[in-house]
Amino acid sequence: MSELRYTKDHEWARIENDITICGISDYAQNALGDVVYVELPDAGRIVKAGEQIAIVESSKVASDVYAPMDGIITAVNDTLSSNPGLVNEAPTGQGWFLKIKFSDAAQYAALMDEKSYTDYTKGLHE
């Protein structure tokens, strides 16, 4: 599987063949606090990069989650409905949100790598 890439809205994505798996970043889960609910879309939905696809709620805030790439949703992480805390425990692992069969690999290449994203989040504090 490929390395993690990030959007400015704090989603991460990695790709394997023509599938991207995505979720929210460690930075994002830390900023949200304890995640209590994740609303996921139905598989089969066609999405555009930047389109709102999920909602993540902590006890104090609800945030939209956006698609990192164009494509069709092939799977969602149903375990999050019974165990939303996985988003805090393993944001880039077991806390993944969904998989998209993508159409344009260049969109992945255009996302930030780990270092750029770290710099980007540091900039947000200044």
Partner 1 sequence: MRYLPLTPSDRAAMLEKIGADSVDNLFCDVPAAARLGGNISGLPNHQSEIEVERFISALAAKNIHAGSCPSFLGAGAYHHHIPASVDQLLLRGEFLTSYTPYQPEVSQGTLQYLFEFQTQVALLTGMEIANASMYDGATAAAEAVMMANRITRRRRAVISGNLHPHYLAVIQTMADLTGFELQIAVPAPGTDENFSIDEATPCVVVQNPDFFGRLHDFSALAETCQKNGALLIVVVTEIISLGLLKSPGEMGADIVVAEGQSLGNGLNFGGPYVGLFTCKEKYVRQMPGRLCGETVDTDGRRGFVLTLSTREQHIRREKATSNICTNSGLCALAFTIHLSLLGEKGLTDLAELNHAMACNLADALAKIPGCKILNNTFFNEFVIELPKPAAPVVDELAKFPILAGVPVSRFYPDNVALKNLLLVAATELTTDKDIAILSAALAEACA
Site membership for partner 1, residue 60 (CB under 8 A):
yes
Residues 84, 38: Cα–Cα separation, whole Å? 6
- Alpha-carbon distance values, 41 to 53, 107, 110 (Å): 6, 21, 25
Paired tokens of 67: 């698609």
Residues 62, 47: Cα–Cα separation, whole Å? 21
Site membership for partner 1, residue 9 (CB under 8 A):
no
User: Whose Cβ is closer to partner 1: residue 64's or residue 114's?
Assistant: 64
Q: What angle do CA 5, 34, 115 make, to 5 degrees?
A: 20
Site membership for partner 1, residue 62 (CB under 8 A):
yes
Strands 52-58 and 62-66, sheet pairing:
antiparallel
State residue 18 phi and psi, 5-degree precision: -105, 20
One of 26, 31, 57, 92 touching partner 1 (CB under 8 A): 57
One of 43, 61, 110, 124 touching partner 1 (CB under 8 A): 61
One of 16, 64, 89, 104 touching partner 1 (CB under 8 A): 64
Interface map 68-107 toward partner 1 (x if CB under 8 A): ----------------------------------------
Which positions lie near partner 1, rule CB under 8 A?
36-37, 39, 57-62, 64
